[in-house]
C-alpha cells in the first residue's frame, strides 16, 4: 500500500520512515502544487504550491496506516503553519495526502483526537487532502541522509 506525508524537510522524514518496520520503500518528491514536473529550485521559491513530501510503500500486515500516522504525528510539529523548525515556506507544510477513503477517515479521526487531547498548546494545522500527482525529486535528494553519513 502507498502513503504520502509532508512534515518539513523531506530528508529527515524519509530517513525516519525508511527505518520504520513495515516500510518497503521510500522516495522523496513534490506534491500538492500547480507546477508540473517541478525542480527543487522551483519548489524553494515558495511559488509552486508544492510540499516536500515522502511517498512510502508499506506492508499493511507489518504496519497499519494508523501506526504510520502515529509515526507522522510524533515526529514533527503539526501546529506550525508552513514551517518546521528553521525551515519556512509552504513547501514545509504538515500534510497527509491520502490515497483512499479509509486513509482520509483515519487521518481526520486521529487529528481530531489529538487536537482535543491537550498534547499541543496550539491547534493542529495539518492539511488532509487527496494525494495528487507525486513528482519524484532529483536523485541527489533520494536517501540523502544515508548517502551523506547522517543516518
Alpha carbon 123 to its chain's center: 18
Question: What cell numbers appear for 35 in the block?
Answer: 507546477
Phi, psi of 83 (to 5 degrees): -160, 140
Give the start-to-end residue ranges of the domains of the chain: 2-147
Question: What cell numbers appear for 86 in the block?
Answer: 528553521
SS3 of the chain: helix, strand, coil, percent, to 5: 30, 25, 40
Determine the length of the chain: 151
pLDDT tens digits, residue range 5-64?
Answer: 999 999 999 999 999 999 999 999 999 999 999 999 999 999 999 999 999 999 999 999
pLDDT tens digits, residue range 48-96?
Answer: 999 999 999 999 999 999 999 999 999 999 999 999 999 999 999 999 9
User: What is the three-class DSSP state of 140?
Assistant: helix
What fold does the segment set 2-147 form as a domain? 3.30.1060
The whole-angstrom separation of Cα 100 and Cα 111 is 17
Q: What's the predicted TM-score (pTM) here? A: 0.96
Which residues are tagged catalytic? 9
Q: Does residue 151 have a pLDDT over 90?
A: no
Question: What cell numbers appear for 107 in the block?
Answer: 487521518
Question: What cell numbers appear for 19 in the block?
Answer: 527505518
Amino acid at each position: 500500500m502507498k502513503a504520502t506525508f509532508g512534515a518539513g524537510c523531506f530528508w529527515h522524514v524519509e530517513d525516519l520512515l525508511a527505518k520504520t518496520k513495515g516500510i518497503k520503500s521510500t522516495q522523496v518528491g513534490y506534491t500538492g502544487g500547480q507546477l508540473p514536473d517541478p525542480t527543487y529550485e522551483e519548489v524553494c521559491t515558495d511559488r509552486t504550491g508544492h510540499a516536500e513530501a515522502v511517498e512510502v510503500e508499506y506492508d499493511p500486515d507489518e504496519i497499519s496506516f494508523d501506526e504510520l500516522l502515529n509515526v507522522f504525528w510524533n515526529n514533527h510539529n503539526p501546529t506550525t503553519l508552513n514551517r518546521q523548525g528553521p525551515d519556512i515556506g509552504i513547501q514545509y507544510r504538515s500534510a497527509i495526502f491520502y490515497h483512499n477513503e479509509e486513509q482520509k477517515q483515519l487521518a481526520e479521526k486521529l487529528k481530531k483526537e489529538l487536537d482535543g487531547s491537550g498534547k499541543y498548546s496550539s491547534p493542529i494545522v495539518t492539511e488532509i487532502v487527496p494525494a495528487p500527482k507525486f513528482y519524484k525529486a532529483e536523485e541527489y535528494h533520494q536517501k540523502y541522509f544515508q548517502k551523506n553519513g547522517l543516518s
